[in-house]
Structure 1
C-alpha cells in the first residue's frame, strides 16, 4: 500500500506547484447567469471607449460640412459591437485560463461558473459578426474596399487581447493597442469615411482620446495588479509596478489637456473642455492614494466618465 500511495503522490513537481485554477466562489453556490449578469458582462461603462472617438471624428466631419448621419451611426455600431465583443471574449479567455479565479473586481460569467464557456464565446462571436456586418455596410456605401483589411485587423486585435496562445494583453501591450484602435484609428476612420480626408484635427483628437482609452485600461489593471502577477498575466501595471503605474496613469490623464491649446486657436468654445478637469483631478488623487480595490473601481468609473465629458465638450466645440 505504501508503494501505491507514493506512486500517486509522485510526478512533475511543477504541476503540483501550479494546480489547475479553480472557479471563484463556492462551487455549490454557483447560480445560472441572469439577464442582469449578461448586461454586466458587456461592461457598459467601457462603452465610452466606443462612443467618444466616433463623436470626435463626426464632429470634424461636420466642421468640413461633410457629416453623414448614416455613416456616423454605422461607425458607432461597429465601435460598440466590437467593444462588447471584446468584453465577452475577454470574459471567455480569462475564464478558461483560470485568470479570473483570483480577481478582486466584479465576477465574470465564465470565471464564476454562471455561464458555460461555449455560450460566452458564442455571444462574443455574435457581436464580432455584427461589427463586421456594419463595417461591410460602410465599405459598400463608401466603396473604400481597403477598409476591409482595417476591419480584419481590428477583429484580430480584439480576439488576441486575451485570446490565443500568446495574448498581447498578457505581455503588457494592452494599453498601446487600446490607444491605437480607440484613438487615432477610430477617430480618423470616422472622419475619413465621411469626408474622404484625414485632417490634422482628427489625428490630434484621436491621440487625445486614445490616451484616455489607455488610462481606462491601465487603472483597471492597477486594480488587479497583485492577482494578475499570481497568474503570470504580465500587464503593463505588473511590469511597471504599482507606484510607477499610478504615475503613468496621471500622465495619461494630463496629456490630452495639453492638446487643447491647438483647438483653442481654431474653436472659441474648446477651452470649455477644461471642465473635464473637475473629474480627472480627483481621479488622479484617488489613484495615487488608493489602498483598496473599491477605490480603484471608482477611479475606473470616473475615468470613463471623464473621457465621455471630454469628448462631448470638444466635439461640440468643433462642430458648433
Structure 2
C-alpha cells in the first residue's frame, strides 16, 4: 500500500501565500505606473516600493483569509477550492496568524518610504489597506461574510491601488515636502478611469470564487453576494465587471489618448472563453480552472493596458 508524501514546508507556505493571486497585486501597480509614464511622471523608487507593498498586502490578506476562515468554520472538508493550510492541518493556526502580522508589518515598513513622498494621503491609504485586509475575513464584522467582499476588492485592489500608485509618482514629481492633502494634479480623472478595469477584473476573480463556493458558504453562514442573490445575479455581475474593463479604453481614446490605448481589446477572446464557463458551471472541477484563467485575464489585460498607456 502506497502513501502520498506530505508536502514540504516551503510548498505549504507557498500554498498559504497563494502566488496565483499575485496578479491582483501587480496589475494595479503596473497600470498606475503606465499612466505615470504617459503623463511624464514615472519615478522608479516609489513605483518599486508600491509594487513590493502591494504584493505584501496581498500575501498578508491571503494568510488572514486562510487563518480566519478556518477558525470561524467557513472552510470545511467539502470545500472545492485550493487547499487551505490552516483548515487542512498543515500549519498550526498560531503560525499562520503570526505570518499574517509579520507580512503586514513588512508592508508597513516599506510603506514608510511612500509616506515620506506622498504624505498623509498615503499614510491613510496604507493603514486602511492593512486594516481592510484583516477585516475581510476577521474582526467583529468580517466584510466577506456580509456581502461586502466585492466592494472591498473593487475599491482597494482596483481604484485605490491604481490611483495610489500614480499618486506617489506624481507627488514625487509635483509636490515638495510632506503633503498633508492631495496636491493638485496628482489624482487626475485619467487615473480614476484607468483604475476601473483593474477593479472590475480583480472583483471578477472573487465572483468566480464565490460562485464556486456558494453552497458551502450558504451552509456555513458566509453571506457572500452569490449566497444572497444566487447564481444568475453573480453571472450578471461577472459580465458587467468584464464589460466595464473593455469600455474604459474607448473612454480614454475619446478623452484624447492615442489609439494604442485600445491594446487591451486583444484579450477579448480569453474573456469570452472564460465567460462561457462561468455562465454555465457551478462545480469546482470547472470553476477552479476558470478562476485561474480569470487571473490570467487580469494579468494579460493589465500588461496590454500598461503598454497602451505608456506607449501612447
Q: Quick check: 1:86 aligned with 2:86?
A: no
1:145 corresponds to which residue? Answer: 120
DSSP-derived class of the 1:111 partner: coil
DSSP-derived class of the 1:107 partner: coil
Alignment of 1:194-233 (within 5 A): 194-196=169-171, 197-233=186-222
State the 1:292 CA deviation.
Answer: 2.3
Match of 2:289 among 298, 303, 318: 298
> 1:30 & 1:177 partners in 2: Cα distance?
38
Match of 1:163 among 138, 145, 164: 138
> 2:150 & 2:59 partners in 1: Cα distance?
17
State the 1:255 CA deviation.
Answer: 1.6
* 8 Å CA contact retained: 2:278, 2:290: yes
* Length, aligned pairs only: 291
> 1:165 & 1:31 partners in 2: Cα distance?
35
What TM-score, normalized to structure 2? 0.90
2:85 corresponds to which residue? Answer: 109
> 1:317 & 1:143 partners in 2: Cα distance?
26
* 8 Å CA contact retained: 2:118, 2:168: no
* 8 Å CA contact retained: 2:217, 2:223: yes
- Compare relative contact order (CA 8 Å, sep 6+) and give the higher one, 1 or 2: 2
Provide Cα deviations, 1:254-283, integer angstroms capped at 9, x if missing partner: 221011112334122122210111111011
Provide Cα deviations, 1:5-29, integer angstroms capped at 9, x if missing partner: xxxxxxxxxxxxxxxxxxxxxxxx9
State the 1:143 CA deviation.
Answer: 5.4
2:183 corresponds to which residue? Answer: none
State the 1:291 CA deviation.
Answer: 4.3
Provide Cα deviations, 1:24-66, integer angstroms capped at 9, x if missing partner: xxxxx99576211211211111111111110111111111211
State the 1:247 CA deviation.
Answer: 2.1
DSSP-derived class of the 1:206 partner: helix
> 1:259 & 1:220 partners in 2: Cα distance?
25
Question: Structure 1, unaligned stretches of length 5 or more?
Answer: 1-28
What TM-score, normalized to structure 1? 0.87
> 1:271 & 1:66 partners in 2: Cα distance?
22
2:153 corresponds to which residue? Answer: 178
Structure 1 stretch 301-310 or stretch 267-276: which is displaced more?
A: 267-276
Q: Quick check: 1:50 aligned with 2:50?
A: no
Match of 1:124 among 96, 100, 107: 100
Q: Which has the larger radius of gyration?
A: 1
* 8 Å CA contact retained: 1:187, 1:206: yes
Provide Cα deviations, 1:203-242, integer angstroms capped at 9, x if missing partner: 0011121011111111111110000000000011111112
* 8 Å CA contact retained: 2:21, 2:295: yes
* 8 Å CA contact retained: 2:18, 2:59: yes
Provide Cα deviations, 1:101-153, integer angstroms capped at 9, x if missing partner: 1311122110011110000001111110111111111112x151342122111
DSSP-derived class of the 2:29 partner: helix
Question: Structure 2, unaligned stretches of length 5 or more?
Answer: 172-185
* 8 Å CA contact retained: 1:58, 1:191: yes
- Taking a change above 3 Å as real, the CA distance of residues 33 and 162 of structure 1, as seen in their structure-2 partners, is farther
Runs of 4+ in 1 over 3 A off after TM superposition: 29-33
1:262 corresponds to which residue? Answer: 251
Q: Quick check: 1:70 aligned with 2:45?
A: yes
* 8 Å CA contact retained: 1:50, 1:83: yes
* 8 Å CA contact retained: 1:89, 1:121: yes
Provide Cα deviations, 1:136-178, integer angstroms capped at 9, x if missing partner: 11112x1513421221111110101000122011001001010
